[in-house]
């Protein structure tokens, strides 16, 4: 248990301590050193636990008893928790190292590194918590850290706005989550998860918990915060999408799965939400121009696969896909950051022809996109196939949901394969193949002053890197190229200009390519497969259908691009493209149906508060002050006037006494 505590405490203590460092260049080196060291130690500890732990490691202590309710704090590191911890710490270490190169001129690097460490510790606490109190603490700390990291650059108006949106949308779901936890504790008489899992509960409690899961894991209708979260730095996007906040909702459902199994209604709702989310994310990704938004919407879609697996009764497949997704999604975001660092924009229209300029990044991106699409034998193929196979089996009534819901999930999962292959191929071709855009070629020869990139109307607001790259990375890259050109012989016209990223950004990408390619092969190992609760891979009609749809999606994107390599295959979407780029305008609908009425109600309540409540309080104060002034003037009256008033009072009292005496 000491190792489990150390694994969580190392990034937690470093994060808290680094918050005390100055948010200037002086605090940069110690913050980076502490953050990288803590992440490395946590990863080493998690790997040690994975190699040595044979039984679940459990420890708990009673904290307080209130009536019949016992509050017990505990940690539990079973095999699933340790596997997820390895993924979390590996991605966190890659992000810490990568950030040192990516944000090398950021004056506020110290608080950034501290918040990444706290984010990591919070997710590890959620993963290993054996009671709902510690789980809730980690859950809430993640929400706070995501708010701080998404809004890291305070000079950009869209970053704080995106941070507030992420915080508020997830808080909406957290209301239901908090209520669900409270009702679970009341029914069970304890916050301990083992005791809770042994009890029986009404189905509406599981529905309350699903609200929090939908918020944290960006499921419809609480998905709208995730694409806007691209306003944060790219390493933050990798951390949120791959290993922490977005994955936490899926993990919590898997951890509390016996509670959800008791409610077929909750699992049916989860299955339908997962199907809609999967399809919505895939369709939206096909029309994005911003490379980070393509990856963001792909995350929405892939989380839909995990939630669907949970709904149909395959939590092992959900965790398996969570693990592989952590590897290839972190790889894709960090590789995208390398491309943006080189090009100075996150618009794919500014990219193209980078295959020879950035060969390592190209091959790593190809591995990541192949895993995302489910290309055999890469990691994503095995995990996604396990989800589709489970859905196919559930169609026959062998799952936790009605057969028709399982059929919907199976059909949508197959459509998702084709769509994912399409937008993955489109991204690879547009970024690394085709002609070099004229604007970039001219800029390489005659670097102009950095300017913010212009985002097409259908893309939405510029993200963090759209402005950050133009303002920082673009200027730095051009300066380095210009300095190198002044001291070296110019390359032959046929030789591409090197655009490889710095070593601190290069090596994390290379390292993440290994699990993205090989992690799925654990499905072939009987012991590992049994540990995850997976069925043995087997040839089935669903497998052939999925591979055929994958090939169809990739070939159609390639065919559209091949006809005009300088054009975007998404132009074939025609009038549907703006609709898909805005994800069917669900964000606008949410804004008009929820945000604007809420603001109007808030404004009305403010006016009532100012005019009625404040008016009553201030009026009482003014009345008291006025009365006090009158009494003060009477008290300060000259002696003759005071004597007259006294005499008048005596006469009035005497007159009253005479009248009352005469009446008696």
Tens digit of each residue's pLDDT (9 = 90 or more) over 194-218: 999 998 999 999 999 999 999 988 8
How much is the pLDDT for 621? 78
State the residue for tokens 């989860």: 270
Tens digit of each residue's pLDDT (9 = 90 or more) over 529-563: 888 888 888 888 889 999 999 999 999 999 999 88
The answer to whether residue 470 is domain-embedded is: yes
334 and 425 co-located in one domain = yes
DSSP class of 349: G
3-state SS of 556-572?
HHHHHHHHCCCCCHHHH
The answer to whether residue 130 is domain-embedded is: no
Average pLDDT over residues 317-329: 95
d(CA 512, CA 327): 6
558 and 603 co-located in one domain = no
The answer to whether residue 156 is domain-embedded is: no
The answer to whether residue 357 is domain-embedded is: yes
Residue where a domain stops, chosen among 581, 613, 643: 581
pLDDT of residue 307 exceeding 90, the answer is: yes
The answer to whether residue 305 is domain-embedded is: yes
CB 289 within 8 A of CB 349: yes
632 and 515 co-located in one domain = no
Let me know if 397 is exposed, middle or buried by CB neighbors in 10 A (0-12, 13-18, 19+): exposed
478 and 560 co-located in one domain = yes
Average pLDDT over residues 206-234: 90
Tens digit of each residue's pLDDT (9 = 90 or more) over 277-291: 999 999 999 999 999
Residue where a domain stops, chosen among 581, 597, 620: 581
557 and 475 co-located in one domain = yes
CB 136 within 8 A of CB 181: yes
The answer to whether residue 191 is domain-embedded is: no
354 and 415 co-located in one domain = yes
State the residue for tokens 């009365």: 627
639 and 568 co-located in one domain = no
Strand segments (E) across 461-573? none
How much is the pLDDT for 586? 87
Domain extent, residue 432, equals: 263-489+497-581
How much is the pLDDT for 634? 63
The answer to whether residue 198 is domain-embedded is: no
368 and 472 co-located in one domain = yes
41-50, 60-69, 292-301, 475-484: least confident range: 475-484
Question: Predicted confidence band at 494 (pLDDT cuts at 50, 70, 90)?
Answer: very low
How much is the pLDDT for 250? 94
Domain tally for the chain? 2
CB 199 within 8 A of CB 187: yes
pLDDT of residue 624 exceeding 90, the answer is: no
414 and 443 co-located in one domain = yes
- Nearest CA to 60 out of 151, 130, 12, 126 is that of 130
Average pLDDT over residues 360-374: 95
How much is the pLDDT for 611? 78
The answer to whether residue 155 is domain-embedded is: no
328 and 402 co-located in one domain = yes
Tens digit of each residue's pLDDT (9 = 90 or more) over 47-83: 999 999 888 899 888 888 777 777 888 999 999 999 9
Residue where a domain stops, chosen among 559, 581, 603: 581
536 and 608 co-located in one domain = no
602 and 523 co-located in one domain = no
Average pLDDT for the chain: 85
């Amino acid at each position: 248990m000491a190792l489990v505590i150390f694994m969580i405490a190392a990034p937690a203590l470093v994060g808290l301590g680094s918050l005390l460092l100055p948010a200037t260049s002086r605090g940069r080196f110690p913050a980076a050193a502490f953050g990288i060291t803590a992440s490395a130690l946590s990863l080493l500890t998690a790997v040690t636990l994975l190699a040595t732990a044979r039984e679940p490691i459990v420890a708990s202590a009673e904290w307080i008893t209130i009536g019949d309710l016992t509050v017990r704090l505990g940690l539990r590191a079973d095999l699933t928790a340790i596997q997820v911890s390895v993924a979390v710490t590996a991605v966190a270490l890659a992000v810490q190292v990568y950030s040192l190169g990516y944000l090398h001129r950021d004056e506020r690097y110290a608080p950034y590194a501290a918040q990444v460490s706290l984010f990591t510790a919070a997710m590890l606490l959620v993963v290993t918590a054996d009671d709902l109190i510690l789980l809730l603490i980690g859950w809430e700390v993640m929400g706070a850290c995501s708010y701080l990291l998404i809004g890291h650059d305070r000079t950009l108006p869209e970053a704080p706005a995106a941070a507030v949106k992420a915080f508020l949308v997830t808080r909406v779901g957290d209301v239901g989550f908090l209520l669900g936890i409270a009702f679970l504790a009341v029914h069970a008489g304890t916050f301990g998860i083992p005791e809770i899992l042994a009890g029986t509960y009404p189905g509406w409690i599981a529905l309350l918990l699903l609200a929090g899961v939908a918020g944290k894991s960006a499921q419809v209708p609480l998905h709208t915060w995730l694409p806007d979260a691209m306003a944060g730095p790219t390493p933050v996007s990798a951390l949120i999408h791959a290993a922490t906040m977005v994955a936490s909702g899926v993990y919590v459902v898997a951890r509390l799965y016996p509670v959800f199994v008791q409610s077929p209604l909750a699992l049916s709702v989860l299955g339908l939400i997962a199907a809609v989310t999967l399809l919505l994310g895939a369709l939206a990704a096909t029309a994005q121009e911003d490379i980070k938004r393509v990856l963001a919407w792909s995350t929405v879609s892939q989380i839909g696969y995990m939630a669907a697996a949970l709904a149909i009764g395959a939590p092992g497949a959900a965790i398996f896909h969570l693990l592989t997704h952590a590897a290839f999604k972190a790889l894709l975001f960090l590789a995208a950051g390398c491309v943006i660092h080189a090009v100075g924009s996150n618009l794919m229209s500014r990219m193209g022809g980078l295959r020879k300029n950035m060969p390592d990044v190209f091959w790593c991106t190809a591995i990541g996109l192949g895993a995302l699409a489910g290309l055999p034998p890469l990691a994503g193929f095995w995990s996604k196939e396990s989800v589709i196979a489970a859905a196919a089996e559930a169609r026959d009534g062998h799952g936790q949901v009605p057969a028709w819901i399982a059929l919907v999930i199976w059909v949508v999962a197959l459509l998702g394969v084709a769509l994912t292959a399409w937008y993955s191929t489109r991204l690879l071709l547009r970024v690394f193949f085709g002609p070099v855009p004229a604007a970039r070629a001219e800029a390489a020869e005659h670097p102009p002053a950095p300017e913010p990139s212009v985002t097409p109307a259908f893309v939405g607001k510029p993200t963090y890197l759209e402005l950050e790259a133009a303002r920082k990375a673009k200027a730095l890259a051009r300066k380095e190229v210009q300095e190198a050109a002044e001291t070296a012989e110019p390359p032959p016209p046929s030789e591409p200009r090197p655009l490889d990223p710095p070593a601190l950004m290069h090596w994390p990408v290379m390292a993440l390519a290994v699990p993205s390619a090989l992690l799925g092969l654990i499905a072939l190992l009987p012991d590992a497969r049994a540990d995850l609760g997976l069925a043995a891979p087997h040839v089935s009609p669903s497998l052939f259908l999925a591979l055929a749809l994958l090939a169809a999606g990739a070939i159609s994107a390639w065919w559209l691009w091949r006809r005009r390599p300088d054009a975007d295959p998404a132009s074939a979407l025609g009038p549907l493209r703006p609709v898909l780029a805005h994800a069917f305008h669900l964000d606008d609908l949410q804004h008009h149906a929820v945000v604007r009425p809420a603001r109007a109600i808030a404004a009305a309540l403010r006016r009532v508060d100012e005019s009625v409540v404040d008016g009553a309080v201030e009026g009482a104060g003014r009345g008291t002050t006025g009365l006090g002034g009158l009494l003060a003037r009477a008290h300060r009256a000259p002696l003759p006037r005071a004597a007259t008033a006294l005499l008048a009072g005596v006469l009035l009292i005497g007159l009253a006494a005479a009248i009352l005496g005469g009446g008696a």
